Amino acid sequence: MTPANPYGGPRSVALKQPSFARTILTYAVCILIAVILAATVRYFLIEPYRIPTGSMLPTIQLDDMVLANKLVYKVGGKPKYKDVVVFKDPTGQYSQLIKRVIAVGGDTVDLRDGYVYVNDQKLDEPYTHGKLSEPLSSSIQFPLRVPDGDIWVMGDNRTNSADSRLFGPISVSTVYGRAWWTYWPLKHFGALK
Per-residue pLDDT 10s for the chain (193 aa) are 555 555 555 665 566 777 877 778 777 887 877 777 766 666 666 788 898 888 999 999 999 999 998 888 888 789 999 999 999 999 989 889 999 999 999 999 999 999 999 999 999 999 999 899 998 877 899 999 999 999 999 999 999 999 999 999 999 999 999 998 898 888 888 888 7
pTM: 0.77
Kindly state the helix (H) or strand (E) to which residue 153 belongs, with its residue range: strand 150-154
Cα pseudo-dihedral 132, 133, 137, 140, rounded to 10: -150
Closest CA to 155 of 92, 94, 84, 90: 84
The pLDDT score that the predictor gives to residue 25 is 79
In the chain, how long is the greatest CA-to-CA distance?
A: 97
* Active-site residue list: 55, 99
- Amino acid code (one letter) for 94: Y
**CA-to-CA distance for 101 and 104, rounded, in angstroms?**
7
The pLDDT score that the predictor gives to residue 40 is 62
Kindly state the helix (H) or strand (E) to which residue 108 belongs, with its residue range: strand 108-112
